[in-house]
């Protein structure tokens, strides 16, 4: 038996294997709201242009509302024999309203229908990610303000480098994730074009009004080339690229939470809300939420790569290969939204261990750079010489197993006679972070100002 929606050309139906590989309803049914919205806009336009009657358009609109209500309520029976969401909706519409349903597909093709649905879906997904990122940015800014003066070690190569503040560290992720926020906003601007009316690939001979459907569906403008409209998937590639970068940023923070919450570091503590236990070791508190966020880039970046490989060699215009654009994209965007929500929860939940952080910041001779800077400013020696002198002083402290501030003035003067007792003012971690007043520096006053600026900017977003 052929498919009654398109099978007039065929004497026989597809084989069972063909039917299975061809059907997409199992995953594209989640486009039903976008599909119905596009169909309602299309029907209204057809009626306005006199292509179908107003009575038919009214029947179509009411029927589509009924179909949507059935799907919303979980009462709709999807059929793999009808292949996809478009055919399933149209078939049920025909059952409900009869002949007028057959006029809905006038002046359009499944090619422009599916890409309209996908652009609407991606736009909705970006809006959801936008809301999630705003919440995460707020959480980070709030944590930064609360810990503007909480001292911790700053690392390079995962080795103690210079003292910083916990708030400054949180603000680093605010900056990173705000760029992700901007990338999604940019992708949304470029994808917000209307392909509906491009039909299969060449446009249509019917006197349609694409400006009307553009307005009805909230698009900024209509796409100006029908070939490009039905075959372009760069908007989804761009969204998945932004998602991949965002997931990588989340993974970096997740990795730090995993490290920081370990018994060896104890920099932060997560509550029971975002940890799990062990089935055999009763003492364990595992940062599973952070570990799962850390893993998400694999599947999200994989979705980008999968679509890139699908698209890389396709000629114009539509090809069935493009049916492979949805499953992994749906999965990637769903998982990114979940990861963002989980990270916002963890950021609000975690509590820094101030004493342990300060002690760690005070180890590893983290104020050595402050000593070198002091020599440049007060003894007027070139930085390279100051670096060398400081290195000798650090070696002495290391030999004595003490902090730089525990060395006597006489011991430091034995290495360079120009050193005075004023040097001790810069050797504490508090003095170190307070001195970093340059734009973007870790000084608590900077952190308070920046966190408040971000909170104000995010208010109402």
List the Cα angle 23/27/28 in 5-degree steps. 80
pLDDT at 180: 98
For 159, the 3-state DSSP assignment is: strand
pLDDT in tens, 402-415: 989 899 999 999 99
Question: Which range (37-51, 197-211, 271-285, 310-324) has the least confidence?
Answer: 271-285
Report, as an integer, the average pLDDT of 363-383: 91
pLDDT at 1: 43
Residues 386, 409: Cα–Cα separation, whole Å: 17
Position 363 confidence tier, pLDDT thresholds 50, 70, 90: confident
Distance (Å) of CA 371 to CA 282, 299, 359, 416, 427: 46, 47, 19, 12, 7
pLDDT at 12: 63
Position 13 confidence tier, pLDDT thresholds 50, 70, 90: low
Report, as an integer, the average pLDDT of 89-97: 98
Give yes or no for a contact between 230 and 201, defined as CB atoms under 8 angstroms apart: yes
Which tokens is 160 given? Answer: 């103690």
Pairing of strands 151-156, 159-165: antiparallel
Percent of the chain residues past pLDDT 90, beyond the cut? 89
Residue bearing tokens 């005075």: 420
Catalytic residue among 15, 79, 271, 278: 278
Each as own residue / partner, the long-range contacts of residues 424-431 (CB below 8 Å, 24 or more positions apart, any chain) are: 426/367, 426/370, 426/371, 426/373, 426/374, 427/367, 427/370, 427/371, 427/403, 428/367, 429/151, 429/163, 429/358, 429/361, 429/362, 429/366, 429/367, 430/151, 431/367, 431/370
pLDDT for residue 4 is more than 60: no
User: What b/e sequence results for 30-68 when a residue is b if at least 16 CB atoms lie within 10 Å of its CB, and e otherwise?
Assistant: bbbbbbbbbbbbbbbbbbeeebbeeebbebbbebbeebb
Pairing of strands 193-194, 221-222: parallel
Q: What are phi and psi of 153, to 5 degrees?
A: -75, 135
Q: What are phi and psi of 270, to 5 degrees?
A: -100, 145
Residues 92, 97: Cα–Cα separation, whole Å: 9
Longest dimension (CA), the chain: 101
pLDDT for residue 280 is more than 70: yes
CB-count exposure of residue 11 (10 Å: 0-12, 13-18, 19+)? exposed
Position 282 confidence tier, pLDDT thresholds 50, 70, 90: low
Q: Is 86 a catalytic residue?
A: no
pLDDT in tens, 210-228: 999 999 999 999 999 999 9
CB-count exposure of residue 81 (10 Å: 0-12, 13-18, 19+)? middle
Residue bearing tokens 């810990």: 147
Residue bearing tokens 């997904």: 125
**pTM, rounded to two decimals:** 0.91
pLDDT for residue 96 is more than 60: yes
pLDDT for residue 322 is more than 50: yes
Residue 382: left if φ>0, alpha if ψ -120 to 50, beta else—which one? Answer: beta
pLDDT at 284: 76
Q: Is 278 a catalytic residue?
A: yes
Distance (Å) of CA 414 to CA 378, 392, 421: 17, 11, 13
Position 444 confidence tier, pLDDT thresholds 50, 70, 90: very high
Question: How does the average pLDDT of the chain come out, rounded?
Answer: 94
């Amino acid at each position: 038996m052929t498919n009654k929606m398109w099978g007039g050309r065929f004497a026989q139906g597809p084989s069972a294997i063909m039917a299975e590989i061809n059907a997409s309803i199992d995953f594209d049914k989640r486009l039903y709201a976008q599909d119905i919205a596009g169909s309602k806009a299309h029907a209204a336009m057809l009626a306005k242009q006199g292509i179908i009657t107003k009575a038919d358009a009214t029947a179509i609109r009411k029927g589509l509302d009924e179909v949507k209500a059935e799907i919303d309520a979980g009462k709709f029976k999807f059929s793999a024999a009808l292949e996809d969401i478009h055919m399933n909706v149209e078939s049920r519409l025909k059952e409900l309203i009869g002949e007028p349903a057959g006029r809905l597909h006038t002046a359009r093709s499944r090619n422009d229908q599916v890409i309209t649905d996908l652009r609407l879906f991606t736009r909705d997904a970006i809006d959801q990610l936008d809301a999630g990122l705003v919440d995460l940015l707020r959480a980070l800014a709030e944590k930064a303000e609360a810990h503007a003066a909480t001292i911790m070690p700053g690392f390079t190569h995962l080795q103690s480098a210079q003292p910083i503040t916990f708030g400054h560290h949180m603000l680093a992720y605010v900056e990173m994730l705000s760029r992700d926020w901007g990338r999604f906003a940019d992708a949304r601007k470029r994808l917000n074009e209307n392909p509906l009316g491009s039909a299969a690939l060449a446009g249509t001979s019917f006197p349609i009004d694409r400006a009307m459907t553009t307005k009805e569906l909230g698009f900024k403008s209509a796409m100006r080339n029908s070939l490009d409209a039905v075959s372009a998937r760069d908007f989804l590639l761009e969204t998945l690229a932004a998602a991949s970068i965002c997931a990588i940023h989340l993974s970096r923070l997740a990795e730090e939470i995993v490290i920081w919450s370990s018994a060896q570091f104890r920099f932060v503590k997560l509550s029971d809300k975002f940890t799990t236990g062990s089935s055999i070791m009763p003492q364990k508190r595992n940062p599973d939420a952070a570990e799962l966020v850390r893993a998400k880039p694999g599947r999200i970046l994989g979705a980008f790569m999968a679509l890139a490989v699908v698209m890389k060699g396709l000629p114009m215009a539509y090809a069935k290969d493009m049916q492979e654009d949805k499953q992994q994209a749906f999965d990637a965007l769903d998982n990114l939204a979940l990861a963002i929500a989980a990270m916002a929860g963890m950021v609000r939940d975690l509590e820094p261990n101030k004493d342990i952080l300060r002690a760690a910041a005070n180890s590893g001779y983290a104020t050595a750079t402050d000593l070198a800077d002091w020599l440049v400013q007060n003894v007027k020696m070139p930085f390279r010489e100051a670096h060398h002198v400081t290195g000798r002083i650090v070696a002495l402290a290391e030999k004595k197993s003490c902090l730089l501030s525990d060395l006597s003035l006489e011991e430091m003067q034995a290495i360079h006679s120009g050193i005075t007792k004023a040097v001790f003012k810069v050797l504490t971690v508090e003095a170190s972070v307070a001195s970093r007043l340059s734009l973007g520096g870790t000084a608590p006053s900077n952190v308070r100002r920046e966190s408040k600026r971000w909170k104000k900017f995010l208010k109402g977003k």
